[in-house]
């Protein structure tokens, strides 16, 4: 790609090439700071952020309230052994329970770690009610749940585990929205059905309400837990606090992450009343999980969401994005389908999307690509329709140039 940075930028790129393990296809730009929906590289170039740090920077970069909360909390306490009390984790748990209808929380660091916790919870709960045999987990083909061993094992995409298997045993995958397959897979040995109500990394696919409802019914019938991984779809991204609220189907376990800590590593496992005591004393833990610092930022993030009425804004901006993407599908043959909800949307192409993302970056727009051919919009929740217009104008022109 063409971006030619300064000498200072080249030095960073070169050092990273030598010292950071090459697991990411990084774009050759060195970002230095952010402000709202914009990022600036070390040469002062400005970029419109349509991916929010992979769904993390929900209230944009350097939000003044977030910064003030960080400074204030840092001056009091950053970390505390989880064997002591601090008011922030409990306050955050209380707020998340109010919003989700769940009863209690366990905090950890990244999303994968919370998925691990959910898998352990499902296994121990299964054992408590049905013995060792009740350990099967049904998950979705095309899903993504993380990179640790357990979370990788329940991820329904071969490419993530092919080099590392065998993963944990007892996992069966079914197609999204295939009710017959789901019925055939769930039985007395199933301890959990795990799904993303909106599959994000899989290319942005929304599960049908009927499929979620059937999962709920089967989970009840077989005394399995219904676990929703809303690490990507939760916390306002779809214009509701949680994507599952669109279907009315409630999970037994809800997994959150990404924006929860306002950019600090923070994830949560929320459970119903019945599961509150499923993890006995010392059965689970996380040294860095749910720190006073991360939880304070979580509280601030939720407060900003409410104060700035961001759910409403996501609905409005999301509707604008859908309309603009639908136009692209009408206009260009290479655009197969636009789908998603709120500010989690995907545009599927017949051609590789990476070159388009690279070209967009050169024009100051950061686009994200999944599955090779899907442009995924994971915009900051503060994004305005005018920002969508700027990004979509650039995308439109790039598609036009490629179709000529």
Interacting residue ranges for ligand PMP, rule: CB under 6 A: 110-112, 115, 144-146, 196, 200-201, 229, 231-232, 257
Strands 365-366 and 368-370: unpaired
Residue (of 241, 236, 4) closest to 100 by Cα position: 241
Helix (H, G, I), strand (E, B) or coil at 109: coil
* CB nearer to ligand PMP: pick between 201 and 348: 201
Whole-number minimum distance, CB 364 to ligand PMP, in Å? 25
Helix (H, G, I), strand (E, B) or coil at 176: coil
Whole-number minimum distance, CB 195 to ligand PMP, in Å? 10
Whole-number minimum distance, CB 205 to ligand PMP, in Å? 12
Whole-number minimum distance, CB 230 to ligand PMP, in Å? 7
CB-nearest residue to ligand PMP: 111
Cα dihedral across residues 233, 234, 239, 240: positive or negative: positive
* CB nearer to ligand PMP: pick between 89 and 257: 257
Strands 104-108 and 267-271: antiparallel
Say if residues 390 and 363 touch (Cβ distance below 8 Å).
Answer: no
Helix (H, G, I), strand (E, B) or coil at 34: strand
Cα dihedral across residues 272, 278, 279, 280: positive or negative: positive
* CB nearer to ligand PMP: pick between 112 and 247: 112
Q: Which whole-number Å values give the CA distances from 404 to 136, 149, 375, 401, in the listed order? A: 52, 46, 20, 6
Strands 104-108 and 368-370: unpaired
Cα dihedral across residues 309, 310, 314, 316: positive or negative: positive
Whole-number minimum distance, CB 187 to ligand PMP, in Å? 25
* CB nearer to ligand PMP: pick between 145 and 313: 145
Question: How far apart (Å, rounded) are the C-alpha atoms in residues 240 and 191?
Answer: 28
Whole-number minimum distance, CB 368 to ligand PMP, in Å? 11
Whole-number minimum distance, CB 55 to ligand PMP, in Å? 7
* CB nearer to ligand PMP: pick between 228 and 332: 228
Whole-number minimum distance, CB 123 to ligand PMP, in Å? 18
Output the six-digit token pair for 305.
């969401």
Q: Which position has the token pair 């080099």? A: 163
What is the layout of strands, in order, in the sheet containing 31-35? 31-35, 38-41, 46-49, 365-366
Question: How far apart (Å, rounded) are the C-alpha atoms in residues 190 and 150?
Answer: 16
Whole-number minimum distance, CB 115 to ligand PMP, in Å? 6
Whole-number minimum distance, CB 243 to ligand PMP, in Å? 10
* CB nearer to ligand PMP: pick between 201 and 300: 201
* CB nearer to ligand PMP: pick between 199 and 394: 199
Output the six-digit token pair for 42.
């070390």
Question: How far apart (Å, rounded) are the C-alpha atoms in residues 330 and 258?
Answer: 33
Tell me 224's DSSP state: P
Burial 59-69 (b: 16+ CB within 10 A, else e): bbbebeebeeb
* CB nearer to ligand PMP: pick between 241 and 332: 241
* CB nearer to ligand PMP: pick between 253 and 399: 253
* CB nearer to ligand PMP: pick between 53 and 318: 53
């Amino acid at each position: 790609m063409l971006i030619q940075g300064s000498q200072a930028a080249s030095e960073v790129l070169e050092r990273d090439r030598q010292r950071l393990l090459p697991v990411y296809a990084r774009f050759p730009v060195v970002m230095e700071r952010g402000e709202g929906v914009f990022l600036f590289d070390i040469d002062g170039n400005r970029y419109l952020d349509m991916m929010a740090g992979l769904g993390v920077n929900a209230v944009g970069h350097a939000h003044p309230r977030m910064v003030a909360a960080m400074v204030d909390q840092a001056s009091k306490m950053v970390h505390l052994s989880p064997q002591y009390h601090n008011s922030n984790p409990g306050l955050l748990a209380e707020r998340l329970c109010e919003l989700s209808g769940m009863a209690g929380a366990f905090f950890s660091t990244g999303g994968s770690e919370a998925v691990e916790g959910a898998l352990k919870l499902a296994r121990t709960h299964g054992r408590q009610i049905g013995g060792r045999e009740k350990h099967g987990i049904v998950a979705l083909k095309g899903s993504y749940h993380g990179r640790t061993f357990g979370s990788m094992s329940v991820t329904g995409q071969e490419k993530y585990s092919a080099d590392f298997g065998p993963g944990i045993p007892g996992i069966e995958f079914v197609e999204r929205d295939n009710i017959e397959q789901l019925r055939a897979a769930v039985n007395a040995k199933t301890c959990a059905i795990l799904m993303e109500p909106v599959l994000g990394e899989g290319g942005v696919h929304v599960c049908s309400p009927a499929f979620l409802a059937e999962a709920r019914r089967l989970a009840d019938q077989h005394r399995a837990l219904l676990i929703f991984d809303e690490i990507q779809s939760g916390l306002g991204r779809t214009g509701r606090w949680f994507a599952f609220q669109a279907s009315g189907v409630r999970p037994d376990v809800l997994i959150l992450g990404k924006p929860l800590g306002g950019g600090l590593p923070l994830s949560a496992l929320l459970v119903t009343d019945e599961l509150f005591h499923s993890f006995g004393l010392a059965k689970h833990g996380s040294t860095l999980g749910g720190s006073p610092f991360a939880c304070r930022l979580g509280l601030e993030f939720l407060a900003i969401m409410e104060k700035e009425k961001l759910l409403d804004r996501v609905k409005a901006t999301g509707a604008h994005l859908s309309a603009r993407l639908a136009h692209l599908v009408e206009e260009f043959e290479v655009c197969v389908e636009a789908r998603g909800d709120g500010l989690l949307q995907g545009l599927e192409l017949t051609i590789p999307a990476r070159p388009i993302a690279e070209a967009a970056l050169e024009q100051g727009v950061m686009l994200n690509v999944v599955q090779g051919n899907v442009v995924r919009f994971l915009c900051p929740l503060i994004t305005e329709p005018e920002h969508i217009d700027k990004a979509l104008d650039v995308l439109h022109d790039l598609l036009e140039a490629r179709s000529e």
